[in-house]
Amino acid sequence: AKWREGKMAKGWLLMKGIIPAISALVVFMLFVSSGRCLHFEYFPSGQSGGAAPFEHLWSFTANARAAGVGNAYTAGSDADSPYWNPAGISRIYYNQINVTNIALFLNTKFATVNMAVPIDKKNFFGMGMGLLSSGEAEKTDSTGRTFGNFSETSNSYIITYSRAISGEFAWGANIKILSQSIDNYSALFHTADLGVLYRYGADTTHGICLQNLIPTQYGSDRITPNLRGGLSQIFIPGRLTGFFDTYILEIFVKPVFRWSAGVEFRAIDNLILRGGLNHREFTLGFGLSSRRVTFDYALGIHPVDLVHKFSINLMYGFIPGEEEKIVLQQINGLETEKKLFHEKKRIETERIRAEREKLALETWSRVKLSIAEKHFESGDYKQAEKTLKEITSKDPQNNAATEMLKEINRLSQKDYLNNLYFESRELYKKTDYQGSLMGAKKVLSIAPDHRGASIVSFLSQSQLFLKDKKYNEAKSELMEMMKIDPKNEEGVALLKRIHTIIEIMEMTPK
C-alpha cells in the first residue's frame, strides 16, 4: 500500500509539472496558428459572420464581466464559466445565479440565465440556458410576394458537472441541448464539452476545453469539435489581472481561428474596470461588487452601433463543511495583503520624503558652509562660528562644520590666551605684580606650556617676595625663570640686585 501511495504521489508530482506545460503549449500553438487571423472581422454581435455554422453559440458571451475582458474567459471561474470551460465552476465557494441581457441590432436580443452549486469541496453542479431571438422579418417568395412575418430563435441548454481533483487541478463536462426555430421549421440536437482547469501557483490559471465532442447535423450544417485554450494571470494581487484566449472552430473540418484578450483592474474596493478586444470588437466595462451581489456592464464597440451588455450575479450560501472558513480566510488574507501594501506604500513614501529632506539639508548645509568658510578666511571667527552652529543644530553629523568649529575654538582660545598674556605683561610693567601674577597663572591653567606666561609668573612672584623682603624665595623664583630664558635681561638684572642685597645683608654685623 505504501509503495502504491508513493507511486501515486510521484505520478501526481509529475502531472503537476506536465499539466501547465501542456496548457501553455496549447495556448501558444493556438495563438501561433491564429497569427494569420489577428485582424478584426466586424459583424454584429451574436452573428457568425459566415465563418462557421452556429459560431454565435460558441464565441459570443454569457456575462458582461467576460465581455468586458474581450470574451477571454476559458480560464475564468464563476457560474457562467461552462459557456467557455465546464471546469470553471470548480473554483466557486458560493451558490451563484447569473442573469445577462444584451440588446443587439434590429431588435435582436440575447439573454442567459446560469446557476452553479458547490455540492461539497470536490463536486460542483451547474445548469444554464441562453436565448437568441431576432426581430420579425417579412416573408417573401421569389417573385416578391409577401406572406406575413417570421422570426428566428436559437436556444441552448447546458448541464454541467465539475470535479476538483486537488487544489490546483479540476475537470468538468457539459451536456448541451441546442434548438433552432425559423418560422415553421425547427430542429433539436445535442452535444457535449470536456474541459480542464489548472492553477499554477497563486497567480496563474490555465484552461483548456474541447467543445462539441459529439458531432451533430443540422440541415446542411454540421456542428464539429472546437478547441479553446486560455490563460489568466494576476499581475498585482487584488488589483490587476490579465486574460488571454485562443481557439479554433471546427478543428477537424475547416479550422477557423479566433483570439481574445483583456485586463481587469480593481480601482477601489467595490469598483472594477475592464477593457478587452477580440476578432470582432473592442470592449470596455466595469463591475460594482459586494459580498453577495455583483453588477457588471460591458460596451461592445462596432462600426454599426454600440452594444450594451448587463449582468447581475447573486451569491448565497456556502459549500457545506469548512469552505466558509476557507472563504473567510481568503477574505482576511486579502485584507492582510491590502494592509501590507498600504504599509509598504507608507514606508516607501516616508523613505522618499526622508531622502528629499536629506538632499535639501545637504544642499542648505553646503551653502551655509561656504558662507562660514568666507567668514573664517577673512578672520571674522565670531560670524563664522554663528553660521557653523546654525549648521550643526540642524545637521549634527556634518563633519566639515564640526571640524571648522574646533579650529575656530582653537584659534579663539589662542587669541584669548595671547590677550591674557599681554595684559599680564602690561600689569607687570605698571608694577601691579599681584595682577600680573594672577593673569599669568590664568594663562598657565589653560596652557601649562605657555613660555611667556611662565616667565611673567616667576618675575611677578619674585617681585612680590622682594617686596616682602623674602630675598632667598625671590632668588629661587628667578633661578627657575632662568632655566626657561637664561638671557632674559629683566630677570638677570633683578637677580643681580637680589644677590647684591643678600651680600650686603651677610656683611652687615648682626
Of 174-178, 185-189, 198-202, 506-510, the least confident: 506-510
How large a percentage of the chain has pLDDT more than 90? 28
pLDDT given for residue 48 in this prediction: 40
pLDDT given for residue 58 in this prediction: 65
What SS3 class is residue 426?
helix
Q: What is the pLDDT of residues 4-59, one digit of tens each?
A: 555 555 554 445 545 554 554 444 444 444 444 444 454 444 344 445 666 666 66
What SS3 class is residue 246?
strand
* C-alpha torsion sign, points 458, 464, 467, 468: negative
Residue 334 CA to its chain's centroid (Å): 14
Whole-number Å distance between alpha carbons of 327 and 237: 16
Q: Are strands 282-289 and 271-278 parallel, antiparallel or unpaired?
A: antiparallel
CB 477 within 8 A of CB 467: no
- Assign 292 a pLDDT band (cuts: 50, 70, 90): confident
Whole-number Å distance between alpha carbons of 15 and 197: 13
Concatenating the DSSP letter of every residue in 189-245 gives EEEEEEEEEEEETTTEEEEEEEE--S-EEETTEEE--EEEEEEEEEEETTTEEEEEE
Whole-number Å distance between alpha carbons of 69 and 201: 22
In this prediction, residues 227-235 reach a mean pLDDT of 94
- Assign 314 a pLDDT band (cuts: 50, 70, 90): very high
Q: Where are the domains of the chain?
A: 2-137+152-321, 342-397, 417-507
**Which triple of cell numbers denotes residue 9?**
504521489
pLDDT given for residue 256 in this prediction: 85
Whole-number Å distance between alpha carbons of 480 and 461: 11
Q: Does the pLDDT of residue 263 top 70, yes or no? A: yes
- Residue 10: is it exposed, middle or buried by C-beta count within 10 angstroms (0-12/13-18/19+)? exposed
pLDDT given for residue 229 in this prediction: 95
pLDDT given for residue 34 in this prediction: 44
Whole-number Å distance between alpha carbons of 316 and 313: 10
Cβ–Cβ contacts within 10 Å for residue 204, how many? Answer: 16
| 368, 372, 373, 375 alpha-carbon torsion, rounded to 10° | 140
Per the prediction, the chain carries an average pLDDT of 82
pLDDT given for residue 379 in this prediction: 73
pLDDT given for residue 47 in this prediction: 42
Greater model confidence, 437 or 332: 437
Q: Does the pLDDT of residue 504 top 70, yes or no? A: yes
- CA triple 176-182-184, angle to 5 deg: 115
**Which triple of cell numbers denotes residue 59?**
464565441
How large a percentage of the chain has pLDDT more than 70? 81
Whole-number Å distance between alpha carbons of 365 and 467: 59
Whole-number Å distance between alpha carbons of 245 and 64: 17
In this prediction, residues 397-408 reach a mean pLDDT of 82
- Half-sphere exposure of 248 toward its Cβ, with a 13 Å CA cutoff? 21
- Residue 502: is it exposed, middle or buried by C-beta count within 10 angstroms (0-12/13-18/19+)? middle
- Assign 67 a pLDDT band (cuts: 50, 70, 90): very high
Q: Does the pLDDT of residue 272 top 90, yes or no? A: yes
Q: Does the pLDDT of residue 142 top 70, yes or no? A: no
Whole-number Å distance between alpha carbons of 353 and 359: 10
pLDDT given for residue 509 in this prediction: 66
**Which triple of cell numbers denotes residue 394?**
540642524
- Assign 96 a pLDDT band (cuts: 50, 70, 90): very high
- Assign 291 a pLDDT band (cuts: 50, 70, 90): confident
Q: What is the pLDDT of residues 471-501, one digit of tens each?
A: 888 888 888 888 888 888 888 888 888 888 8
Q: Are strands 123-133 and 152-164 parallel, antiparallel or unpaired?
A: antiparallel
CB 459 within 8 A of CB 437: no
pLDDT given for residue 33 in this prediction: 45
pLDDT given for residue 50 in this prediction: 47
Q: Does the pLDDT of residue 150 top 90, yes or no? A: no
Whole-number Å distance between alpha carbons of 306 and 298: 10
In this prediction, residues 305-326 reach a mean pLDDT of 77
CB 68 within 8 A of CB 274: yes
CB 276 within 8 A of CB 263: yes
CATH of 2-137+152-321, one of 2.40.110.20, 1.10.10.10, 3.90.180.10, 2.40.160.60: 2.40.160.60
Task: Please check whether the domain covering 417-507 is classified as CATH 2.40.50.70.
Answer: no
In this prediction, residues 402-424 reach a mean pLDDT of 78
| 394, 395, 399, 400 alpha-carbon torsion, rounded to 10° | -60
Of 68-72, 342-346, 495-499, the least confident: 495-499
150's CB contacts (< 8 A; 6+ apart) are 136, 137, 139, 182, 183
Q: What is the pLDDT of residues 356-397, one digit of tens each?
A: 988 888 888 888 888 888 887 877 777 888 888 888 888 888
